[in-house]
Amino acid sequence: MADDKIRVSRRDILRGAGAAAILGTALPASAKEAAAKAPAGLTRHGPGAVPVSIGLNGKAAKVMVEPRVTLLDALRDRLDLTGAKRICDRGACGGCTVWVNGKTVNSCTMLAIDAAGADVRTVEGLAQNGKLHAVQAAFVEHDALQCGFCTSGMVMSCAALLKNNPKPTLDEIKAGIAGNLCRCGTYGHIFNAVQEASR
């Protein structure tokens, strides 16, 4: 009984992704009317929903969003990628960390429209060919997570750190994740995991 119920719900959730995307493209775009009125040297977008195309975890993706919609909300509520979390919602905790053109950003503090044309990678797209990234594997091995709500962002910051600095010192690890907070207090195990992944 219980099993059936979960399965049904999961299917519903998955269906949500497709439906939202379809719904998105059907929304009226105000881009046309707007572009006409833009001052010289400027391009106008919105205020209605506008199409935003991004490279998302290696694939092309498109969403219709108002200019005010953040990259985080576009990912979570329109593209069904809920790995990045909304925690502080003001760029102070790193829970929403994703890579934009290979660099870590707080997706809660970036407009989706500012990611147009960019290569966006989320925690869902970090593992390659079904194999965990070294940081992810080390997080599992060292229990570098408890409730796990900060983990998506932590993993993205740690992986970016190792990309730029394959053999970081402990202080460099700390500085590299200074923009990511953890409430459960897993930092010690995160340091261990990053050191392991750097070996």
Q: Which of 24, 120, 136, 168 binds another protein (CB under 8 A)?
A: 136
80 binds another protein (CB under 8 A): yes
57 binds another protein (CB under 8 A): no
Decide: 196 and 137 in contact? Cβ < 8 Å. no
Window 10 to 39, contacts with another protein (CB under 8 A):
12-13, 15-17, 19-20, 23, 34, 38-39
134 binds another protein (CB under 8 A): no
Sheet (strand 50-56) strand order: 59-65, 50-56, 119-121, 97-100, 103-106
Q: Give the C-alpha distances (Å, rounded to integers) separating 143 from 27, 54, 194.
A: 44, 33, 12
114 binds another protein (CB under 8 A): yes
In angstroms, the CA 82 to CA 181 distance is 18
CA angle 47, 65, 28 (to 5 degrees): 70
185 binds another protein (CB under 8 A): yes
176 binds another protein (CB under 8 A): yes
CB of 134 to another protein, least distance (A): 11
Q: Which of 54, 63, 120, 145 binds another protein (CB under 8 A)?
A: 145
Query: Tokens 């929903």 — which residue?
Result: 49
76 binds another protein (CB under 8 A): yes
Structure tokens at 177: 């994740």
Decide: 116 and 54 in contact? Cβ < 8 Å. yes
CB of 121 to another protein, least distance (A): 11
104 binds another protein (CB under 8 A): yes
CB of 114 to another protein, least distance (A): 6
